[in-house]
């Protein structure tokens, strides 16, 4: 693989919604949410747009990389739903940041979007079609959550995480898997307004069968990680940190136990932000990077799963 990450950034909305805040309109409790998920609070957009979050995360990532807008020649945005259906978020962000480039697109690969975007950045950098790729995962989960459904709305939050990728040897290996199923996890769309359409309508909210996704997640994470390590003749002990998609602390713990690893190798921040879909790993990566916890040449492993159904994993050689 031919890329390395040379800068990280993130941004979350100002408004904090605690578990107790949710009890004002939901039949739930702080105790239930904490015990079943590990989540204590999440951030939700009030006056911010998704573009505001994406812009702030991008500026931080560029600052951390020591690059300016004029140095960036490709943008990839991962988002389940931008501020508009059209124009895409990458077009809006490029205008806001004054980035002039032709290679840019939005992808919608659910919670796995960050690692899918890393794979695409790698392809463009290796093909020399780009020299500095800005990846931004910007997710407005509060907009698509059914706030009357206590089984799902307690889980999610809004955030943006960004990285800059440049040519280099910072990625040891990467794997992507797609199952192609919407049975247990989907977000519907606004009602059909065509007088001709006769297909089934799905409510414009996130629908999830939590137990099925839980089982899928635990198995997928463990298998993806073990396969990737085996393929590269490595063991879990060779990895400094495992960055697992921040969906549920029980899922992360279960994977950790199966891999026989100590708690301090599995950083987490879902207690403060909930599940922020594809933003979750770059948000955590930025937090840990800024805290100075990553050493040059640390091997770190990223693993995500989500709607699609998709799973993805990646071993990085931390390079700055």
In sequence order, what are the beta bridge partners of 275? Answer: 156
* Per CB under 6 A, 213 contacts ligand UT7: yes
Helices (H) and strands (E) in the chain — how many of each?
A: 10, 13
Number of residues that bind ligand UT7 (CB under 6 A): 19
* Per CB under 6 A, 111 contacts ligand UT7: yes
Interface residue with ligand UT7, options 34, 96, 150, 227 (CB under 6 A):
150
Q: Which is nearer to ligand UT7, 72 or 314 (CB)?
A: 314
275 is catalytic: yes
DSSP assignment of 53-88 equals: HHHHHHHHHHHHHT--GGG--EEEEE-SS-SSSSS-
Please choose, from the candidates 306, 298, 285, the residue with its C-alpha nearest in 3D space to the C-alpha of residue 165: 285
| Minimum CB–partner distance for residue 318 and ligand UT7 (Å) | 25
184 is catalytic: no
DSSP assignment of 137-154 equals: EEEEHHHHS-TT-TTTGG
Please choose, from the candidates 76, 109, 72, the residue with its C-alpha nearest in 3D space to the C-alpha of residue 91: 76
| Minimum CB–partner distance for residue 45 and ligand UT7 (Å) | 18
* Per CB under 6 A, 37 contacts ligand UT7: yes
Binding positions for ligand UT7, 241-280, rule CB under 6 A: 247-248, 251, 275
19 is catalytic: no
Using CB positions, name the residue nearest to ligand UT7: 210
Q: How many CB atoms lie within 10 A of CB 157?
A: 30
Q: How many CB atoms lie within 10 A of CB 148?
A: 10
* Per CB under 6 A, 170 contacts ligand UT7: no
Q: Say whether 156 sits in a helix, a strand or coil.
A: strand
* Per CB under 6 A, 215 contacts ligand UT7: no
Residue 308 gets the label, from left (phi > 0), alpha (psi -120 to 50) or beta, of left
Selecting among 245, 268, 289, 314, the annotated active-site residue is: 245
Interface residue with ligand UT7, options 21, 30, 32, 258 (CB under 6 A):
32
| Minimum CB–partner distance for residue 61 and ligand UT7 (Å) | 23
Residues belonging to the active site: 111, 245, 275
Contact positions vs ligand UT7 (CB under 6 A)? 28, 32-33, 36-37, 111, 150-151, 154, 210-211, 213-214, 217, 247-248, 251, 275, 306
């Amino acid at each position: 693989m031919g890329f390395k990450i040379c800068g990280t950034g993130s941004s979350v909305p100002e408004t904090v919604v605690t578990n107790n805040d949710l009890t004002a309109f939901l039949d739930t409790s702080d105790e239930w949410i904490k015990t079943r998920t590990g989540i204590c609070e999440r951030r939700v957009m009030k006056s911010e747009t998704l573009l505001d979050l994406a812009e702030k995360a991008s500026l931080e990532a560029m600052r951390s990389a020591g690059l300016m807008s004029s140095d960036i020649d490709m943008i990839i945005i991962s988002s389940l739903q931008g501020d508009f259906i059209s124009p895409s978020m990458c077009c809006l962000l490029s205008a806001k940041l004054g980035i002039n480039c032709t290679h840019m697109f939005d992808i919608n690969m659910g919670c796995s979007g960050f690692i899918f975007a890393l794979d695409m950045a790698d392809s463009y950098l290796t093909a020399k079609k780009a020299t500095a790729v800005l990846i931004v995962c910007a997710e407005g989960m509060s907009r698509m959550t059914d706030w009357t459904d206590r089984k799902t709305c307690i889980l999610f939050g809004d955030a943006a995480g960004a990285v800059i990728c440049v040519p280099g040897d910072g990625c040891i290996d990467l794997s992507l898997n797609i199952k192609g199923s919407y049975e247990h996890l989907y977000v519907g769309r606004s009602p059909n307004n065509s007088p001709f359409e006769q297909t089934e309508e799905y409510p414009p909210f996130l629908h999830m069968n939590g137990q099925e996704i839980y089982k899928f997640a635990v198995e997928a994470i463990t298998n993806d990680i073990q396969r990737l390590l085996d393929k590269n003749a490595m063991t879990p002990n060779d990895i400094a940190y495992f960055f697992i998609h921040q969906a549920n602390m029980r899922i992360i713990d279960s994977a950790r136990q199966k891999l026989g690893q100590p708690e301090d190798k599995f950083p987490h921040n879902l207690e403060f932000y909930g599940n922020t879909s594809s933003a979750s790993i770059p948000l955590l990566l930025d937090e840990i990077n800024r805290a100075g916890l990553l050493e040059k040449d640390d091997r770190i492993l990223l693993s995500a799963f989500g709607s699609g159904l998709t799973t993805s994993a990646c071993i990085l050689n931390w390079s700055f």
